[in-house]
Amino acid sequence: MRLFRWFSADPIPAAYDLRRLGWQLLTDSRSTAPFEAHALLGLPHHLPLAQWLSLAGANPAQRKWMMMLEVDESSERTRMLRLGFGDALGRGPSLDEIEARVLRLEQLAQSLPRYRLHGAIKLDLLSREAYVAGRAVGLHPREFALLWRLAETPGEPVSANELLYDVWRLSFRPETNSLAVHVSRLRAKLRTSGVDGMVETLPDGSYRLLAIGPRSAIPLDSDLALDGYLRMGKEHFTI
């Protein structure tokens, strides 16, 4: 079953309703997460400012699943694509074209990049190593997997249970302190490489990779957040 989500202040128009092609529309009752690993279609012109900012402020791992519709100005579509949205379309595409683009978007969103950059750290998935100033940090596979997972959502907490499942494929909390040991070793190696304090432990026992600069990757300046909001059909917005 192919699944998708809809994000707009208005009901989904027939022109964008993939249910007509056999898809299933997910609702919030199906998941506690606001963004799940399924395409998210929306009409940004019809969103209140706060909801638009929640979309624009999502981390890159979430934005890549989002397809913005009825964005008629080429400059606005270009801006959205540069900011990491999965796709941006003007008015007029057929439902078949939207389905083809959603399938392509999902393929691209599920593909893993070879590299992740975070500050001075460069992660190479092929060699499963981290580099600082061109020098290998010397990570063991589990240490690399921990850092890679944390770098997927920098600045956001990742619970111990999530890390145990994503890195160790464990669905339960073992009695050993293997996670804490690996985090400690990872920190020591990063410190030796000159990037201390990158992995934080939060009071609830979760971990996060220290965010570099303001909110990782999306400049919510007046050009996008306010001027852009005004350009994108302010008559549709309610504050």
> What are the tens digits of pLDDT across the range 218-230?
343 434 443 454 3
Long-range CB contacts for residues 178-183, cutoff 8 Å, separation at least 24: 182/142, 182/143, 182/146, 183/146, 183/207
**Whether the predicted pLDDT of 214 surpasses 50:** no
For residue 226, give Cα distances in angstroms to 198, 222, 233: 32, 5, 12
| Residue 224 DSSP label | I
Q: Quick check: helix, strand or coil at residue 157?
A: coil
pLDDT of the residue at 213 = 59
Give the fold, CATH level 3, of 115-209.
Arc Repressor Mutant, subunit A (1.10.10)
pLDDT at 45: 83
* Tokens of residue 161, six digits: 């249970």
From residue 60, how far is each of 86, 93, 158, 173, 185 by CA, in Å? 10, 26, 16, 29, 28
Rounded to whole angstroms, the Cα distance separating 183 from 100 reads 42
Query: DSSP letters along 41-106, please?
Result: EE-GGGS-HHHHHHHHTS-HHHHTTEEE-----HHHHHHHHHTT-SEE--S---HHHHHHHHHHHH
pLDDT at position 30 is 40
pLDDT in tens, 75-113: 999 888 888 888 999 999 999 999 999 999 888 877 778
- Burial group, residue 123, by CB count within 10 angstroms (0-12, 13-18, 19+): buried
pLDDT bucket at 10, cuts 50 / 70 / 90:
confident
Model pLDDT for residues 14-63, shown as the tens digit of each residue: 999 999 999 999 875 443 344 456 889 988 888 888 777 777 777 677 78
Q: What is the pLDDT of residue 220?
A: 39
- Given a cut of 70, whether residue 235 has pLDDT beyond it is no
Of 11, 15, 69, 9, which is closest to residue 39 (Cα–Cα)? 69
Distance separating alpha carbons of residues 44 and 70, to the nearest angstrom: 8
Residues of the chain with CATH 3.40.50.2300: 3-111
Higher pLDDT, 173 or 78: 78
Residue with tokens 């706060």: 50
**Domain boundaries for CATH 1.10.10.10 within the chain:** 115-209
Write down the architecture of domain 3-111 according to CATH. 3-Layer(aba) Sandwich (3.40)
Q: Which residue has the tokens 């302190």?
A: 177
